Amino acid sequence: MKRAFKYRFYPTQAQAADLSRTFGCVRKVYNLALAARTEAWTLRQERISYNATSAMLTAWKKTEPLAYLNEVPAVPLQQALRHLQQAFNNFFARRTNYPRFKSRKRSRSSAEYTASAFRFRGGELTLAKMVEPLRIVWSRPLPQCAKPSTVTVSRDRAGRWFVSLLCEDPAVQPLPVTDAVTGIDAGLDHLLTLSSGQKITNPRHERRDRVRLARVHRGLSRKAEGSANREKARRRVAKVCARVADRRRDHLHKITTRLVRENQTIVIEDLTVRNMLKNHALARAISDAAWGEFRTMLEYKAQWYGRRLIVVDRWFPSSKLCSNCGAVRDTMPLHVRTWTCACGATHDRDVNAARNILAAGLAVSACGADVRPQREPSRRRRSVTKQERSRVTVGISVL
């Protein structure tokens, strides 16, 4: 099983300049190829493949305005074209929207190197067209005799540099089979409620740093546009946001790993987080809970360790259904945390929902239905809009 190991590193000034230049060239090639493919389809109804964009890249390097593309390694530029091809494949498969142009300020700064563009020997990683190896902080050991097949270098909004090494991890093996099963109800007062009655507290990482985040945002708003002080203030904001995101991700990793190790079958509810965020009274708390990231972690960890993840339909009335007699209440406002059914059973709202989710998941599984963890297909494929046609001309000017 291939697994990515991510580490922080500290580049020299020369390395930082080279990598920043590579990030810019990768973004430029991606945007040029996207503009060419969009223009070909809009004007001539012609589809351009990856091979055609690769030939275009060769021609672009020979022109005087784009001669600087020869100063960076060729592999990250080719990988950018492959990423664009994958973006179009996802679009045609109705998994995502039409690809968008990369922005210098908003897009992720990263470059991907394949095996021919780096050297990994004796625990030292040297990228193409660099003399010195990267100064990596090895926070955890790589698997023995690991040979990275792909290396991805990135820089986040806070100015931190990371390198991700993709290699085979023999430690990822199916865990021993167990009879334990659990249903999970996601919430805000408690992050997760298990069918066993256990409740996992919601740490509310964003709320803990809300005062600090407001302070640095006020400092950012007082700085002049385009000034060096504004860039420093923006980085301070990014550092606070990165701190919140890191703590949230670490907490979710610990929870999902424990759930996967302890249970053979896990049943969750298919939540439409994107639609739930339209509730402005709860959007901030829902974003801080990160239910989507929690599900993503459960999916790939269940696949790694041979566990089963069952996703129950979002319209299943888990909160309004009595787990004792099966009666369904007409309404269940959010402020109602405990309720008593006509059969006499008193339910905790979240525990009752978790038990109903577990029962529904096991029932579907017993009937032999498709219980693979699939995302909701709300992002439909659509035709190229007028706004996207305008990107052909407007996008080229901002590349």
Q: Active-site residues: which are they?
A: 185, 269, 350
**Cβ atoms of 130 and 18 closer than 8 Å:** yes
- Backbone φ and ψ for 28, nearest 5 degrees, come out as -65, -45
Residue 12: CB atoms within 10 Å:
12
Q: Is 177 helix (H, G, I), strand (E, B) or coil?
A: coil
For residue 75, how many C-alpha atoms fall within 13 Å in the half-sphere facing its CB? 15
Give the span between the Cα atoms of 38 and 48, in whole angstroms. 9
Give the span between the Cα atoms of 399 and 395, in whole angstroms. 6
Alpha carbon 399 to chain centroid, angstroms:
25
Give the span between the Cα atoms of 386 and 328, in whole angstroms. 47
Direct distance between the N- and C-terminal alpha carbons of the chain, in angstroms, rounded to an integer: 38
Element (H, E) at 182: strand 181-186
Alpha helices in the chain, H assignment, sequence order: 13-44, 50-61, 74-92, 205-208, 210-221, 228-262, 273-276, 283-289, 291-304, 349-366, 386-397
Q: Is 190 helix (H, G, I), strand (E, B) or coil?
A: strand
Give the span between the Cα atoms of 20 and 76, in whole angstroms. 12
CA dist 253 to 133, 296, 348, Å? 30, 11, 27
* Alpha-carbon torsion (155, 157, 159, 162), positive or negative: negative
- Short-list 166, 66, 61, 70, CA closest to 112: 166
The type of residue at 281 is A
**Cβ atoms of 244 and 205 closer than 8 Å:** yes
Q: Which single residue is written with the structure tokens 């945002």? A: 217
Give the span between the Cα atoms of 6 and 163, in whole angstroms. 6
